[in-house]
Every structure is written in C-alpha cells, then in structure tokens.
Amino acid sequence: MPKTSRTIAALVLVLAGAPAGAAERAAAAGVERADTGTADAVEATEAYLARVPLVERVRSDAYHRGAYWLRLWRLLYGLGVAWLLLETRLSARVRDLAEQLSRRGPLRTMIYWAQYLMVTTVVSLPLTAYRSHFRERDYGFATQSLGPWLADQGKVLLLNLLLWGPFLAVLYGTLRRTPRTWWIWGAGVTSAFVVLVTLAGPAYITPLFYTQTPLTDATLRQPILAMARANGVPAAEVQVMDLSRRTTRITAGVSGLPGAGRIVLSDNLLRRCTPPEIRALVGREIGHHVLKHVYELLLGFTILIVAGFFFLRWSVEWALRRRGERWGLRGLGDVAAWPLLAAILAVFFFAVTPVTNTLVRANEVEADIFGLNAAREPDGFAEAALKLSESRRLSPGPLEELLFFDQPSARSRILMAMRFKAEQQ
C-alpha cells in the first residue's frame, strides 16, 4: 500500500503541473458561442484566482503537498509503533500487568488501554508536535506557543483515556462472546461509538477547548438568524468561539438536532471576513444542517466500518496464525492484540481515503449550492473561498482533487459562485 500511495502521489504531482485552469478555459471556448454566461463565469473565476500573489500560491501549494506525505508518514510511523509493541512483546507484558492488577475483564482492558495510550502518545509526540504545532507555526496558521499546545495535548490524552477505555472494554467483551460473527458485532459497536462521539462533540467536547460567547453585533446577528429561520433552523442566538487562541483559520458551524440549530462563528471569521463573506459561509453551514449531512456521513462511514471489519476478519486471523505465538498473543479476544487490529484498520482506512474524501466533498458541494441560494452572496462566497484555501492548492488537477480533496478546491467553488451570479443577472 505505501508503494501504491507513492505512485499515486507522484502521478498527481505530474498532472498538477498542467497550466492552472486549462480545462475550464477549454470548456469555456467550446461553450462561449452557445452560453455567454458560462464563459463569463470562467473569466471571472480566473480574475479572482489571479488576485492571489504568487508567493501565497506557492506557500499554499507547498503546505498541501506536504500534507499528502504527512498522511503517508503518519501511517508508516503508526505501523512501526505497532510492530515494535508486538515484536518486543511489550503489548503482551502490558496485558500481563493489567491482569495482575484486576480480575475483571472490562477493567483489565481499560488498564491495558491506559498503559498503551501513554506509551504510544510519548513515542508519537515528535511527529504529532511537528504536524500540528511546528509546521502550523512555520506556515503562519498556529497562534499558540508550545506550552499552551502541550496543555491541549494533555486534554486530548485525558479525553482519549476516558472515551476509548470503555469503548475497548465493550468491543473486546463483544469479540470474546461472538467468536464466529465477531466482525459484524465489532463493526456495530464501533459504529455506535463513532455516532455517539460525533453527535456529542459540539456540545460536550468542543467547549473543553474553546470559549463561546453570544454575538453582540445586532447588524450581523439579525440577518444570520433571519436566514436561519427562513431555511427551517429556528436558532435563538449566534455564538462566537475564540478560535484565534490557537489558529488563524476561519470557520463556522451549525449543530443540533433536526428542527433546532446552534450557530457558532469563529472570532477569526468576524475579524477577517466582510459581512457578505460571513453570510455566505453561514449559509452553507445552514445547508449542512438542513440537508442532514452529518447523518449521511455517519451512514457512509458506518458502511466503511463494516467493510473495514470484514477486511479485518481475514487479515487478523491470518496474522495471528503466522505470528501470534511469537508475539505472545492468545487469540483475537486478547487485548494485547489491539496494536495489530489498530494497524490493520489504519491501513484499510488509508486505502479508502479517496472514498471518504468523495463522501465529504459531495456533501460540501451540496452545502455550497444551498448557501449560494440562501445567502445570495456569490462574490462574498468567492472571497471566502480564497480564505478557506490558504492551506490548499487553489487549482489542483482533476485527478488530484478527486483523490485527495475532501473539500472542493477554490477554483471549483469560485466557478460555482460565478455561474450562480451569471445566471441570476
């Protein structure tokens, strides 16, 4: 799989060397006689993209290309840690210690997880620090110093301890009780865990990292609430999240159950964007909520989790037959085999990255269209698209966008907005 990923990445970089916008300009040349609006939209898109200075384009391209390789290196690093834990029998020794500390199976599993989590967190800290702190600061996105970043990592460690420990206890209890159909029940338990964390995250996890206060600017709040109510989201207030404490990125969100809605804007969004840009981005977030994209994605990822456990079924049994005794593992229901299960699932989900990207990107396109119709701010949307793409390639090749983008590129988004604008005139 790593060799295949290198080949794909190399092919993408070659394709990305084509002149930006070549496909759109060729298409425009073919339709200009029949559809002047489409040709004008392409021309307007090129004008927006041309405003980005070359130095900023090179920086965003370099950041995005580096992210491709970081995905691969994170996978290889994780596989190396898993191999080390198994080959040295450290995982088996950690299990033995858990068994000495408790006679109860669920508690043993959680004790094992606590030790495993501490070891893997320490071993992975250099790569984590580079990826999410030092690299972010080098590219001008992170605003935290090292101390506050480490404090946040402590919170993440505690959350992983409290959330994953009970999950693994339930998962391994299920595996031991269903030796023939374990992969089906295991996929069910995992899917339920993903659904729970996803739905509870905005209300219970995000506030652990960010402070949220009501938006006091009535000239901005009232149009946002009116747009929300007009599209079936009876939100009562707009919250502002202090994202600037950690990053310069802009974001907004609408969360809550259907028929309700909680609108949250980042302070970066208020500071860096104009009211039309803010309305355009909030409009697309309302679209995510109204179109119930979170549930679509949960369904899609549930299907992938089932497929992943089916892949796990034959691969882990093959690995246990060949190496289980050498690693000191007693079988599938042995919690010491967790590094093996985690490594196999990591390989599977790395392999299906284009699928997960496509699932997310399709919803993003739908939300963009919804937002354009809700906010009626095509130029605001185009301006915001440039800001959203500060860490992405503005004009990727078609294959690169298909395989590696979980959001539409700036070119795709601006072209959509300009077509909307042309058709409304």
Tokens representing 307 are 């497929």
| Interatomic CA distance for residues 309 and 187, integer angstroms | 6
Whether the CA torsion 92, 93, 95, 99 is positive or negative: it is positive
Share of the chain above pLDDT 90, in %: 84
Specify the residue for token string 């992170």. Answer: 142
Left (φ > 0), alpha (ψ -120 to 50) or beta: where does 361 sit? alpha
Helices (H), 201-292: 218-230, 267-272, 275-290
Specify the residue for token string 């997960």. Answer: 356
Q: Among 356, 355, 380, which Cα is nearest to 368's?
A: 380
| Interatomic CA distance for residues 285 and 202, integer angstroms | 14
Laid out side by side, the sheet with 252-255 consists of 212-214, 238-241, 262-266, 252-255
Q: Which pLDDT tens digit goes with each residue over 369-406?
A: 999 999 999 999 999 999 999 999 999 998 999 889 99
Using N-to-C axis directions, what is the helix angle for 338-351 and 54-87, rounded to 10°?
Answer: 150
Q: What is the mean pLDDT of residues 311-319?
A: 95
Q: Tell me the CA end-to-end span of the chain in Å, nearest whole number.
A: 50
pLDDT at 424: 84
Helix H or strand E segment including 263: strand 262-266
Q: Which pLDDT tens digit goes with each residue over 265-288?
A: 999 999 999 999 999 999 999 999
| Interatomic CA distance for residues 405 and 392, integer angstroms | 9
Cα angle: 106, vertex 170, 108; to 5 degrees: 20
Strand partners, 142: 247
Q: Which pLDDT tens digit goes with each residue over 286-312?
A: 999 999 999 999 999 999 999 999 999
Confidence band (pLDDT; 50, 70, 90) for 256? confident
Residue 18 has pLDDT above 60, yes or no: no
N residues, the chain: 425
Q: What is the mean pLDDT of residues 314-334?
A: 95
Reported pTM? 0.87
Q: Which pLDDT tens digit goes with each residue over 100-146?
A: 999 898 999 999 999 999 999 999 999 999 999 999 999 999 999 99
Residue 14 has pLDDT above 60, yes or no: no
pLDDT at 38: 65
Specify the residue for token string 């690693």. Answer: 327
Whether the CA torsion 334, 339, 345, 348 is positive or negative: it is negative
